[in-house]
Amino acid sequence: MSHITDLSFSELKKALNDRTLSSVEITSAFLDRIDALNPTLNAFITITRDEAMQAANDADTLISQGAGTPYTGLPIAHKDLFCTDGTLTTCGSKILSNFVAPYDAQVVSQCKNAGLVSLGKLNMDEFAMGSSNENSYYGPVKNPWDTTRVPGGSSGGSAAAVAANLTPLATATDTGGSIRQPAAFTGTSGLKPTYGRVSRFGMIAYASSLDQGGLIAQTAEDIAHGLGLIAGHDSRDSTSADQPVPDYTQTLNDSLKGKVIGIPKEFFDDRLDSAMRQAMNEVLDVLKSLGATTTEVSLEHVAEAIPAYYVIAPAEASSNLSRFDGVRFGYRADSPTDLMDLYERSRGEGFGSEVKRRILIGTYALSEGYYDAYYKKAQQIRRLIRDDFNRALGTCDLLFGPTTPSTAFVIGEKTADPVAMYLEDIYTVATNMAGLPGGSFQAPLINGLPTGYQLTGRAFGESMILNAAHQVQTVTDWHTLRPEGV
């Protein structure tokens, strides 16, 4: 039955609608593949086989009665920071290794309401802090293209699971590139929507002003289907945008004639590897052949995005993670001598080294005497970056660039140098700082490893990003390439 797992989300939807496959057949095929490959890839933390098969049975009953939605019975897997009622929700951390969520995140409940079948919870960098998925309490995720390499982070489990056909669609989150960078490293499609487009209710926070839920799948068309299910206003999230949700599938086949694509000169300077530059030029040639025109633009302050991000994000993490204290839920240290000992040892034993590093940085940046010098200054830079993007997108429909500086690196290669790891997000962080939508889609392989190109759009311009990516995917085969041996 392994051929079932080769099908994309859109192809599976058609097979279910045509009654050529049942939800039970689809779900059991993916679960069997997970059982076979997850011990090697480590993409799933929790596999919910019994619940998934029950949901698939229920879905088939609904479909036979003509009572389901167009998506009833299709599989999905969730990044393990979306709270899932009755299911272990760990955020990749020891401190939440015994936490069973008592409610569903809005994204999870929207997927359930649409009739999707959850296969389980996906591995991730602890509290979404990382660019390689090496920071998980549950061990690193392996890249299906080369298991000695990282899949990217923090949504490495989501990306590896889609790349290895363990699930056709996966939820993910992006704070500084954590959907787009893993998508590029694993040869998948990933979209970070506009800030506020997808509810953060029930999504365990890293940096509240930057976090955004999104999706990883095989194609832009798959994401167009999925985004329509998870997007929308939620009164329980004060930052949720009260904007109508379009049918993202309706504009996939629009012509690109007359569309202007901006090329930020800062993304194509001397630091860009020549092989990556060649791959990007191939994608640009395709976009031009489809009728788009290109123009050079400047994002003057983009060089300051990484240092500003690594002040703002840890500062917000310092505040958000203060709730994990060993008192109400999660890991608790044994036999504390007093309350302070309980706090110190629960947090000291429960958090990993990267999380501790960012809490320390963030607490320092927010401390008296340093707030104005660091946090306030970083927020001022953020506004300049946002203004740069809005200026460029005033004359262009989309901005184009590489998603990552290189292909996936070897596990352990950058763990001793946090700054080198942080620079992996050099092309992605600025989009989060501006609150804009960004997607990464498959580009030509380099030495047998995947690469991705990035499209950034105007606020709530996800349709335009997906349209352009879909048009490229209709005339290229980069998105059909799969790792050998999995």
Residue of 300, 285, 283 whose CA lies nearest to 401: 283
User: What pLDDT digit, counting tens, does each position of 434-484 carry?
Assistant: 999 999 999 999 999 999 999 999 999 999 999 999 999 999 999 999 998
- 407 in a domain, yes or no? no
Side chain identity, residue 347: R
Per-residue confidence band for 2, with pLDDT thresholds at 50, 70 and 90 = very low
- 103 in a domain, yes or no? yes
Give me the domain span that covers residue 98.
2-252+437-480
- 356 in a domain, yes or no? no
User: What pLDDT digit, counting tens, does each position of 27-56 carry?
Assistant: 999 999 999 999 999 999 999 999 999 999
Per-residue confidence band for 270, with pLDDT thresholds at 50, 70 and 90 = confident
- State the residue for tokens 């050099």: 426
Tally of CB atoms within 10 A around 327? 12
Flag whether pLDDT at 1 surpasses 60.
no
Report the predicted TM-score, pTM, of the whole model to 2 decimal places: 0.96
CB 171 within 8 A of CB 202: no
DSSP 3-state assignment of 236? Answer: coil
- 12 in a domain, yes or no? yes
- 45 in a domain, yes or no? yes
407 burial via Cβ count (<10 Å: 0-12, 13-18, 19+): buried
The mean pLDDT value for 351-360 works out to 93
Interacting residues of 78 by C-beta distance below 8 A, sequence separation 6+: 84, 107, 108, 111, 118, 120, 121, 122, 170, 171
- 334 in a domain, yes or no? no
Give the pLDDT of residue 56.
98
Side chain identity, residue 379: Q
The mean pLDDT value for 87-107 works out to 97
Give the pLDDT of residue 368.
82
- 445 in a domain, yes or no? yes
Flag whether pLDDT at 485 surpasses 80.
no
Residue of 101, 103, 120, 116 whose CA lies nearest to 46: 120
Give the pLDDT of residue 346.
95
- 325 in a domain, yes or no? no
User: What pLDDT digit, counting tens, does each position of 380-426 carry?
Assistant: 999 999 999 999 999 999 999 999 999 999 999 988 888 778 778 88
Give the chain's domain count.
1
223: left (phi over 0), alpha (psi -120 to 50) or beta: alpha
Q: How far, in Å, CA of 253 to CA of 251, rounded?
A: 6
Average pLDDT score, the chain: 95
Residues in the chain, overall count: 486
The mean pLDDT value for 237-256 works out to 97
Q: Which residues are catalytic?
A: 79, 154, 178
Tell me whether the omega of the peptide bond preceding residue 154 falls within 30 degrees of 0, making it cis.
yes
Give the pLDDT of residue 269.
86
- The CATH number given to whatever domain includes residue 244 is 3.90.1300.10
Give the pLDDT of residue 484.
86
